[in-house]
Amino acid sequence: MINIAICDDDNDMIQALKSAISSYSKTHAIEFEVHSFQSGEKLLDCKLDFDLIFLDIEMGGMDGLKTAQLYRQIDRRARIVYVTNHSELALQSYAVHPFDFVVKPFESSRIFSVLGELTKYLSENSAKDTVIQLKGEDGPLLLNLKNIYVFEYTGNRRITVYTESEKYQIKGSLSDVFSIINSESFVSPHKSFIVNMEHIDKLNNFTLYTTNGIEVPVAQKKLKEFHNEFSRFIKNYIRQG
């Protein structure tokens, strides 16, 4: 099931998008669950996660660009398609990292194109799920790579692996870990840590914080390199959706 949100203060536009999505669903045998919101405030109040958001730029009250900026603080992974009456506003939308944009009025084929790119993207990224085998204290440990937040070397060839709510003890060095994970999402901001950049929430001076509250020091001599790596990651992340 693919979850889609439509945020537009024009009910006719909401119905037009729903109709196009329904047609695509029937012809491609893909299930969509569609939720509609007539203001940015209502979208921001919603507790659901969405695979795609059709977001009107020009709305009464909070406009679409401000809504997107605030929504990014809630869900950095959201794929946003901006919808506008004016093509020049689409250029402004790139400051808030769009997946695509649609100019009104639109043909159903334009929405079909967006949904086709979405399903392709979701399929490709689903295939990228990788399970790695680590040397656990009590034998082999299998973990999904994307669920790992931090590796911390604690000495004596012992490493603590942090996920969202659990932690595990494994044997080896951080160089051993890097040889196993083989992923551009991971970076070492300090000699004792490897961090999954997908789960970084913020950086404050020489400390970064993951989305589940883990604090990781950033070595002064590695700060510039870390900034470069994280900027590269964010640019690639935005380009993918």
Domains by residue range for the chain, with CATH: 2-126 (3.40.50.2300), 131-240 (2.40.50.1020)
* Rounded Cα gap, residues 75 and 169, in angstroms: 30
Confidence (pLDDT) at 94? 47
Calculate the average pLDDT of the chain: 87
Q: Is 33 helix (H, G, I), strand (E, B) or coil?
A: strand
Task: Count CB neighbours of 108 within 10 A.
Answer: 15
Confidence (pLDDT) at 239? 46
More confident residue, 233 or 123: 233
pLDDT at 93 over 90: no
Question: Residue 236 — pLDDT band, cuts 50, 70, 90?
Answer: low
pLDDT at 127 over 60: no
Task: Of 140, 148, 187, give the one whose Cα is nearest residue 167.
Answer: 148
Q: For 214-223, what is the mean pLDDT?
A: 95
pLDDT at 95 over 60: no
More confident residue, 28 or 234: 28
Confidence (pLDDT) at 205? 85
Confidence (pLDDT) at 241? 46
pTM, to two decimals: 0.56
To 5 degrees, how large is the angle CA 233–CA 68–CA 127? 45
Please count the helices (runs of H) and the strands (runs of E) in the chain: 7, 15
SS percent in the chain: helix, strand, coil, step 5: 40, 30, 25
Q: For 154-158, what is the mean pLDDT?
A: 95
pLDDT at 166 over 60: yes
Task: Of 181, 173, 169, give the one whose Cα is nearest residue 133.
Answer: 181
Of the segments 3-7, 60-64, 199-203, which one has the largest average pLDDT value?
Answer: 3-7
